[in-house]
């Protein structure tokens, strides 16, 4: 069975689940270590747009962050929000429009404002996306 947009009811239910989980304060991102090959998990702030299937994060350490280096080496990740785990594909955001979206969503969620400062952490962090498999 499909909805008006041609999505299966399962996908529609999964998108509603993601939207409800997007309000949680943090997620756990698991990457595969580029040197050790072992699972590496961090707790991190995130934001997801309404009815979205892409999760956005900002790496304050930019390319120096282990988790960013791990994603560059192997983009297959897992994201746990509350008791729900998603598989996904991580990527460094290169598109300027998506960069602005990621920053705006994270700033709105955690600082309660729409405008991203022109300096400081929110302006200099590296935006990273995880496209969730649903």
Task: Let me know if residue 1 belongs to a domain.
Answer: no
- What pLDDT score does 3 carry? 39
- What pLDDT score does 9 carry? 67
Q: What's the whole-number mean pLDDT along residues 25-46?
A: 96
Structure tokens at 100: 């602005």
Task: Let me know if residue 4 belongs to a domain.
Answer: no
Q: Which residues contact 112 (CB under 8 A, 6 or more apart)?
A: none
Residue 8: band (very low, low, confident or very high) from pLDDT cuts 50, 70, 90: low
Q: What's the whole-number mean pLDDT along residues 41-51?
A: 95
- What pLDDT score does 95 carry? 98
Give buried/exposed letters for 45-79 (b at 16+ CB in 10 A, else e): ebbbeeebbbbbbbbeeeeebebbbbbeeebebbb
Domain interval for residue 37 = 9-132
Overall number of domains in the chain: 1
Closest to 43 measured CA to CA, from 79, 7, 11, 18:
79
CATH number of the domain to which 62 belongs: 2.30.110.10
**pTM of this prediction?**
0.90
- pLDDT 10s digits, 48-60: 999 899 999 999 9
- pLDDT 10s digits, 94-118: 999 999 999 999 999 999 998 888 8
Residue 122, pLDDT above cutoff 80? yes
- What pLDDT score does 14 carry? 87
């Amino acid at each position: 069975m499909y909805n008006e947009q041609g999505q299966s009811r399962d996908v529609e239910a999964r998108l509603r689940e993601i939207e409800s989980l997007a309000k949680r304060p943090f997620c756990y991102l698991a990457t595969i270590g580029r040197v050790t090959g072992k699972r590496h998990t961090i707790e991190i702030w995130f934001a997801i747009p309404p009815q979205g299937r892409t999760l956005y994060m900002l790496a304050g350490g930019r390319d120096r962050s282990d988790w960013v280096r791990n994603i560059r080496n192997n983009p297959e990740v897992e994201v746990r929000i509350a008791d729900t785990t998603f598989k996904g594909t991580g990527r460094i955001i290169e598109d300027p429009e998506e960069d602005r979206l990621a920053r705006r969503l994270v700033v709105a969620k955690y600082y309660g404002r729409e405008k991203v400062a022109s300096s400081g952490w929110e302006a200099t962090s590296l935006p990273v996306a995880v496209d969730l498999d649903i």
